[in-house]
Amino acid sequence: MKVLVYGAGAMGLYFAGRLAQAGHEIYLKTRSEWGEPTLTLQSPHQTNEVVALSGIFTEVPESLDVDVVILATKAWQIPDVVKDLRGKISSGAAILTVQNGITAPENASECLEESSIVASTCVVIVQRTAPGVVKLLGHEAKLVAGEFVSRNGKGLSTVIDLFKNTPIDLTGTDDIRRALWKKLALISSYGAVGAVSNLSVGQTRSHESTRQMVRDSMDECAQVARAHGVDVTESDIADIFAIYTDGFEEATTSSMQRDLAEGRPSELEDQVGEVVRRAHTVGVEAPTQNFMYRVLLAREEIARDKG
Ligand SMILES: NC(=O)C1=CN([C@@H]2O[C@H](COP(=O)(O)OP(=O)(O)OC[C@H]3O[C@@H](n4cnc5c(N)ncnc54)[C@H](OP(=O)(O)O)[C@@H]3O)[C@@H](O)[C@H]2O)C=CC1
Ligand SMILES: CC(C)(CO)C(=O)C(=O)O
């Protein structure tokens, strides 16, 4: 298939690399070129795989005939990305989002009215170590994907076909909103408690006060989801709380937490900020998320003023 990967950060390089290795025609939209249209994928076993791409460009051509577009920027960058893509890509293309939270597929569906929007939750840890170089830490990605907006009924099946013959595990779901809210409840909760306390998962879960804050925050997020018509169940929350208490390595931190700690713009607004705003619109109390958001917002604003 012919695929545009928009954004050459950690996720963009990783997906571009694995899909090109599987024989797909991959075009990468980056902000600055780095020479030959290749990228380097560093695996956990220290091997460097150099992968050839079909093209790298800094401007999206006015007309691009592709089967799939993978939006691989940070969530807050999606509105500008979809404005850039508007009118340029073939109408039947499936748009795949991989961002945490729920804003990315919503923003994509508002601007790209002719494409099917396939949203996904993605579990992987990848880091860009230099321009065109990405490091995979741990396991290959696991995605759960579903049609967020179906415009031709083919979006999910196209995306499922795309990932066949790659080491990336993709499972389809018919309730992607629930999957997105469930991951949001997990990540916004342990990430924000970790950011506020400046502690890793191993540390926050071994202290009753922070462990309880994570649980309260997850419960609040589930209540907000339900008030918005998305059925995040008690058992979903029990699942994600068990991931937090037993599934993560001791040193785990979320990417939002690491960005905030290092003074970089983070996805605070698309994670905790979004839960707080959506709680407000439906009159749900979310005191834990609210408190954490207000504390972390100052740090976010300082990071963005610097940038
Ligand atoms: N990294 C991970 O392991 C995981 C990430 N995610 C989610 O995936 C999303 C992407 O994360 P990640 O890849 O780590 O983020 P990165 O910041 O590494 O990558 C985003 C990339 O998008 C590029 N970009 C932004 N705007 C444009 C533009 N207009 N044109 C071209 N390129 C653009 C940025 O360019 P520039 O560098 O120039 O700013 C950057 O390279 C996030 O929502 C994150 O939460 C989910 C699971 C795991
Ligand atoms: C939890 C994790 C690493 C899963 O991929 C993630 O999405 C993040 O830190 O942003």
The two tokens of residue 93 are: 């293309």
Integer Cα distance of 108 and 86 in angstroms: 10
Q: Answer yes or no: do 220 and 114 share one domain.
A: no
Q: Is the pLDDT of residue 306 over 80?
A: no
* Main-chain dihedrals φ then ψ at residue 134, nearest 5 degrees: -130, 145
Of 157, 174, 191, which residue sits at a domain end? Answer: 174
Q: Which of 29, 31, 262 to mutate to test the pocket of ligand 1 (most atoms within 8 A of CB)?
A: 31
Which residue has tokens 């990336």?
168
Atom of ligand 1 nearest to the CA of 81: 29
Interval between CA 104 and ligand 2 midpoint (Å): 15
How many A from CA of 283 to the centre of ligand 2? 29
20 C-alpha vs ligand 1 centroid, how far in Å? 19
Does ipTM top 0.85?
A: yes
Q: Which residues contact 305 (CB under 8 A, 6 or more apart)?
A: none
- Domain limit, last residue, from 174, 189, 210: 174
Tokens of 204: 């926050």
Ligand 1 binding pocket mutation candidate from 14, 29, 74 (most atoms within 8 A of CB): 74
Q: What is the pLDDT of residues 165-191, one digit of tens each?
A: 999 999 999 999 999 999 999 999 999
Whether residues 135 and 14 share a domain: the answer is yes
Confidence tier at 46 by pLDDT (50, 70, 90) = confident
pLDDT of residue 111: 74
CA 306 / ligand 2 centre spacing (Å): 25
Domain containing 191 — which CATH number? 1.10.1040.10
- Cα–chain-centroid distance for residue 72? 8
Gap between the Cα atoms of 13 and 41, Å rounded = 8
Query: Which CATH number does the domain housing residue 66 bear?
Result: 3.40.50.720
For residues 222 and 217, give the distance between their C-alpha atoms in angstroms, rounded to a whole number: 9
* pLDDT mean across residues, the chain: 95
Q: Check residues 171 and 305 and name the one with the higher pLDDT.
A: 171
pLDDT at 307 over 70: no
Exposure string over 2-38, b if 16+ CB within 10 A, otherwise e: ebbbbbbbbbbbbbbbbbbbbebebbbbbeeeeeebe
